[in-house]
Amino acid sequence: MAELPSALALGQSLRNHTCSARELTESFLAEIDRREPELHAFLTVSREEALAAADDADRRLAAGEPLSPLDGVPFAVKDNLCTKNVRTTCASRALEHFVPPYDATAVSRLRAAGCVMLGKTNLDEFAMGCDTGSSAFGPTRHPLDPARVPGGSSGGSAAAVASWEAPLALGSDTGGSVRQPAALCGVVGLRPTYGRISRSGLTGFAPSFDQVGLLARTPADCAALLALTAGFDPLDATSARRPAESFADQLEAGVRGLRIALLQEGLDEAGPAVRRSTERAAACLESLGARVEPLSLPFLREMLPAYHILTAAEASSNLARFDGVRYGLRAPGAGWRESIRESRSAGFGMEVKRRILLGTFVLEKEQRDACFSRAQRLRRRTAADLREALGRFDLVLLPTAPETAWRWEEERDPLALYRSDLFTVPAAIAGLPAVSVPFGEENGLPIGVQFMGRAWEEALLLRAARTLLQEV
């Protein structure tokens, strides 16, 4: 990554008039044209809109009135975030032609800061998946090896940043959908604290877990992107009333004096190269002055099934609205019941149907106590365990994904795919922030390690991520 400029460096070049925002935008659009036939990271490229926004940025920059450090810098948007007058499909036939009349708050804040939207990126349908393979419009390929997966569900956003089709991207992270593809593609992926970034305009999968996440090439870029998107939003009832802050002030402070926990559970389920990278990261942090100690979380393996039960239950309720009556795909039927059934059958792919059926099953009266209520109790208990651990430690270090990017040709059943969320689910269950940073590789494929921290301490996470990335 060293040979490519950061998004902040691009913004500085624009302010120095080294290049124009139009020239910068055109260079990224050209790279999209070059890479997309093979990569398929984008579902929609908003070329004319991007060039118009770039021209507006050039007028501000010429007048010496930039709106933000990223004014004129392009970004991409995962296609489950609403974008005014630009179609938002959620990678589903159900919404193939849906064009929202408004922007998601995270998108509107970036536009207001002068950032230039390049288009909408591919994802697993309705963000339900781990490899971007359930997209109704075809999979995204890994930017280093098209025979491999980029991860998911924000695989399009991660691949776009890793391939330099975009310097920044928005994604969403329900159980790891930003961090896992970031690890597989070799970029930085941040899931902020639940409530830090508004969910208004984000199509709901499991709202008590969903968060808008950020993808970039450096922690400093993530900090700048977070500063522009974070903050209270009256349009989102879960938005936290937190004061505005800078997330970049601590980036250079290092890790000396920090107490960092190295998670023990689950390491035996990670591949040898992933284990070595995680242990090497721990040793590196110790050499830089941090105190690293082992941490046991006995319920780690139970978190994964609990997560899938709870998110499937929420998805079952959320996706009931996609019935073809008001918007989206509408299939003919003999009556209204038949029309709704046919619309949902034709509109949803197999993975979405699987999760709807699972969610409907665990919410049935006969199964509720044994499945849903038990998972809720486990969620409360594990969240309390994590908060207690983070009362003793500043950060928790753990792998991001159990393995590197696998080949598309490998046959994987759903349970094997769900296992890729093993290390990302804990932060999601507890609503805590976590960041994946590239650290190591296997056979030329990136490996990511992950920091998990206390609520509202994204600045500390990004500080640790920057320190570690400098040691790669």
Active site residue 154: no
Catalytic residue among 20, 78, 154, 343: 78
Rounded Cα distance between 129 and 358, Å, is: 15
Contact 133, 191 (CB under 8 A): no
Q: Write the Ramachandran bin of 231: left for phi over 0, alpha for psi from -120 to 50, otherwise beta.
A: left
Contacts 24+ apart (CB under 8 A), 363-366: 363/313, 363/316, 363/317
- Give backbone dihedrals phi and psi of 133, rounded to 5 degrees, phi first: -90, -15
- Choose the catalytic residue: 177, 198, 316, 436: 177
168-173: strand order across its sheet: 42-45, 116-121, 74-78, 168-173, 211-216, 188-191, 434-442, 445-453, 395-399, 259-263, 291-295
Rounded Cα distance, 134 and 114, in Å: 33
Determine whether 365 is an active site residue.
no
By DSSP bridging, strand 168-173 and strand 291-295 are unpaired
3-state helix, strand, coil split of the chain in percent (to 5) is 45, 15, 40
Residues contacting residue 472 through CB under 8 Å, at least 6 positions apart: 438, 439, 440
Largest Cα span, the chain? 71
CA distances from 335 to 22, 89, 320, 341, 345 (A): 52, 26, 18, 10, 15
Catalytic residue check, 153 = yes
Residues in a beta bridge with 263? 295
Active-site entry in 6, 135, 153, 200:
153
Q: Which residues are catalytic?
A: 78, 153, 177
